[in-house]
Chain A
């Protein structure tokens, strides 16, 4: 893995950090009046805390942790519906492991499993399809969730199931898209963001053009970034340089992986299988227009919403978040995770109350797990 080590070279990092400090100064940002950069992707949030990057950047630069953790933003009502399907006789529910602990109103999937539901962790939707082949007498459902990074693999699996006429397989589709919540954040009248670090893996699929509106319509810079520490630091520097120079452009730091036009095969599979939902609920942010996809009627035979009659919008939506939970304020940058009254008290990774404490990519969980306030107290 020398390839990875090169992107973790401390000497090179010191050079970039010095440049970040210099440009932050040139912008005139200070601890009291900082420049706010949002990393959209949960993978970036995780990397910032894992490598302690927020402790190395100047006080005039503040990271705001964006909504890019798919497990975190999944609304509780969808977990409830997933549990409801999983508890029906004859069903095998399959899911990525990190969705197991997400709390629903009644229970999480891991609790439903303990109560007797047949819920199995898989590493790919193709594993779920294989399970359907091996258990023709059972209904195998895949809990499809995630951004454009996982959406194509679910689409290709549905296409495979259709080609094989595998009728005991279906997908409970909760796939969501990155650009709409960014637009929602930018439309917020209290918005304080000065620039964005864009998601690398999502952009590998969709390319960089879907972000044009950020620069064009809102005048904010965005740099699509890789996930190694040096990738992140360099991208932050590129955003800062744009701010200093008064530019607002879409730049691609991760060009070794991200083609400007994305991946046409993935995009074609998605276009074939999915259509946009009129709106979808995001935990902590509320309903956002056209921010999720559903399975097209042509593939209804593999749509768990149709098969089990739990279509989105049939049950009550917008179920209130628990008392005192301020995930929405954290996600929009109004408060830091530890400023939430529940942080580390009523809400911990063991017993998550709010969305951002659920997954290791959630801002609160990363903050809690890797330091944040406790680290400041410790050092």
Chain B
């Protein structure tokens, strides 16, 4: 039957049941009513069929990434699991210098999840996709029995194009390069922690989740001397810096006094004994740029909405290769290592 001729499918249930995963009419109702009516993919075949002129440019590279999202709670101040499922994958493309184009979205839904919750998540995903200028072009849903999941898990894969001539690689960072972040640290981790309700903390902190492609394009246009970037998600800034120090065989030195932190985030960390350097972010990246272009990159970042709080936090060094060292407020020093385990469960 021609899809245009039949009335749109509607979900009648209030909650997801195993029937919505059964491959029959209920599943079609769920997919069309809740997901594809919002995402408006370019076709309903079993695969998305895509073309983009930038792929034809000589020297262009395809960038392809995937990430799964299991955050608890699913909805939190500043976003929900749908927002970070889009932003996280977009940003994984962006930090490699890619222009994101298309996403897939696969949902594992636990029996009993409210349909209205799914609608909110789908709306958040589309809003984030619109903000980033990407399309959600293909997807999948599975339903698992009560107790076999925890609400909704989402896996998104992303495809983008790296324009000719761009080569952002962690290993290319040189001693002397300057480290810049685009804004305050730890908001996402602190917001999730407060939203979880275990601690009876009341704060106004909201997650920082946002796509960073517009910011990155602005910076790369102004400062082609950007050598590498990382989004500071799980493991926080500390993990991102350690990855770069390790890959490039350089040391990294940061100044505690230069780290941008909201007083509320500092407060949450004080109370719970956490280190903000390890708190997750979902809209924050750190990049390394050659010293002669550091001010240009900083100015370009600050001219974007996502980079208004940008600042220089440190630099790469020839000494202590592979190690991140922080100068404390007193002028003492300490090593900032990778997390051993997990500071918090399920933050993204």
Residues of chain A at the chain B interface (Cβ within 8 Å):
1-2, 4, 8, 10, 13-14, 17, 49-56, 101, 121, 123, 127, 229, 349-350, 369-371, 374-375, 377-379
CB–CB A1/B332 < 8 A: no
CB–CB A51/B330 < 8 A: yes
CB–CB A49/B334 < 8 A: yes
List the A residue with the shortest CB-CB distance to B256.
A51
5 interchain pairs (CB within 8 A)?
A10-B330, A51-B328, A52-B332, A121-B345, A375-B334
CB–CB B323/A378 < 8 A: yes
Residues of A within 8 A of B263 (CB): 1-2
Distance A50 CA – B276 CA, assembled complex (angstroms) = 13
Shortest CB distance A377–B (Å):
7
Distance A4 CA – B334 CA, assembled complex (angstroms) = 20
CB–CB B330/A350 < 8 A: no
Residues of B within 8 A of A349 (CB): 340
Residues of B within 8 A of A127 (CB): 198
Shortest CB distance A103–B (Å):
13
Distance A52 CA – B336 CA, assembled complex (angstroms) = 12
Chain B contact residues: over half helix, strand or loop, or mixed? loop
Residues of A within 8 A of B345 (CB): 121
List the A residue with the shortest CB-CB distance to B271.
A1
Residues of B within 8 A of A50 (CB): 328, 334
CB–CB A379/B333 < 8 A: yes
Interface string of B178-202 (1 = CB under 8 A from A): 0000000000000000000011000
Residues of A within 8 A of B334 (CB): 49-52, 370-371, 375
Distance A8 CA – B270 CA, assembled complex (angstroms) = 13
Distance A15 CA – B330 CA, assembled complex (angstroms) = 11
Task: Add 6 more A-B contacts to A10-B329, A52-B330, A378-B335 (CB < 8 A).
Answer: A1-B263, A1-B267, A1-B270, A51-B332, A53-B332, A377-B320
Distance A185 CA – B153 CA, assembled complex (angstroms) = 53
Residues of A within 8 A of B251 (CB): 378
B325 within 8 A of A: yes
Residues of B within 8 A of A56 (CB): 330-332
CB–CB B335/A51 < 8 A: no
CB–CB A123/B198 < 8 A: yes
B53 within 8 A of A: no
Shortest CB distance B239–A (Å):
14
Distance A370 CA – B326 CA, assembled complex (angstroms) = 9
Distance A13 CA – B330 CA, assembled complex (angstroms) = 7
List the A residue with the shortest CB-CB distance to B340.
A349
List the B residue with the shortest CB-CB distance to A229.
B330
B203 within 8 A of A: no
Distance A101 CA – B340 CA, assembled complex (angstroms) = 11
Specify which of A54, A229, A375 is in contact with B325 (CB 8 Å cutoff).
Answer: A375
Most-contacted residue by chain B among A54, A350, A369 (CB, 10 A): A369
CB–CB B270/A4 < 8 A: yes
B319 within 8 A of A: yes
Interface string of B251-265 (1 = CB under 8 A from A): 100000000000100
CB–CB B329/A369 < 8 A: no
CB–CB A374/B331 < 8 A: no
Residues of B within 8 A of A52 (CB): 328, 330-334
List the B residue with the shortest CB-CB distance to A352.
B340
Distance A21 CA – B270 CA, assembled complex (angstroms) = 29
Contact flag A378-B330 (CB < 8 Å), given A1-B270, A369-B335, A370-B335:
no
Distance A10 CA – B341 CA, assembled complex (angstroms) = 32
Distance A17 CA – B332 CA, assembled complex (angstroms) = 12
Distance A349 CA – B335 CA, assembled complex (angstroms) = 14
B15 within 8 A of A: no
Residues of A within 8 A of B341 (CB): 101
Shortest CB distance A130–B (Å):
11
Shortest CB distance B165–A (Å):
36
CB–CB A374/B330 < 8 A: no
Residues from 298 to 348 in B contacting A, C-beta threshold 8 Å: 319-320, 323, 325, 328-335, 337, 340-341, 345
List the B residue with the shortest CB-CB distance to A124.
B198
Residues of A within 8 A of B267 (CB): 1
CB–CB B328/A1 < 8 A: no
B266 within 8 A of A: yes
CB–CB A378/B320 < 8 A: yes
Distance A257 CA – B333 CA, assembled complex (angstroms) = 29
CB–CB A10/B333 < 8 A: no
Distance A377 CA – B323 CA, assembled complex (angstroms) = 11
Contact flag A53-B330 (CB < 8 Å), given A1-B266, A123-B198, A375-B325:
yes
List the B residue with the shortest CB-CB distance to A228.
B270
List the B residue with the shortest CB-CB distance to A110.
B341
Most-contacted residue by chain A among B198, B263, B328, B334 (CB, 10 A): B334
List the A residue with the shortest CB-CB distance to B321.
A378
Residues of B within 8 A of A101 (CB): 341
Distance A370 CA – B333 CA, assembled complex (angstroms) = 8
Distance A370 CA – B331 CA, assembled complex (angstroms) = 14
Residues of B within 8 A of A121 (CB): 345
Shortest CB distance B200–A (Å):
9
Distance A378 CA – B319 CA, assembled complex (angstroms) = 7
Distance A250 CA – B232 CA, assembled complex (angstroms) = 46
Residues of B within 8 A of A49 (CB): 334
Residues of A within 8 A of B270 (CB): 1, 4
Distance A264 CA – B283 CA, assembled complex (angstroms) = 48
Residues of A within 8 A of B335 (CB): 369-371, 374-375, 378
CB–CB A379/B198 < 8 A: no
Distance A121 CA – B72 CA, assembled complex (angstroms) = 15
CB–CB A8/B329 < 8 A: yes
Distance A379 CA – B125 CA, assembled complex (angstroms) = 46
Residues of A within 8 A of B340 (CB): 349-350
Residues from 215 to 266 in B contacting A, C-beta threshold 8 Å: 251, 263, 266
Distance A123 CA – B273 CA, assembled complex (angstroms) = 13
Specify which of B325, B328, B331, B332 is in contact with A378 (CB 8 Å cutoff).
Answer: B325
List the B residue with the shortest CB-CB distance to A361.
B273
Residues of A within 8 A of B328 (CB): 50-52
Shortest CB distance B118–A (Å):
27
Specify which of B198, B323, B329 is in contact with A51 (CB 8 Å cutoff).
Answer: B329
Distance A10 CA – B329 CA, assembled complex (angstroms) = 6
Residues of B within 8 A of A350 (CB): 340
Specify which of B266, B329, B330, B333 is in contact with A375 (CB 8 Å cutoff).
Answer: B333
List the B residue with the shortest CB-CB distance to A56.
B332
Distance A379 CA – B201 CA, assembled complex (angstroms) = 39
Most-contacted residue by chain B among A53, A127, A350, A379 (CB, 10 A): A379
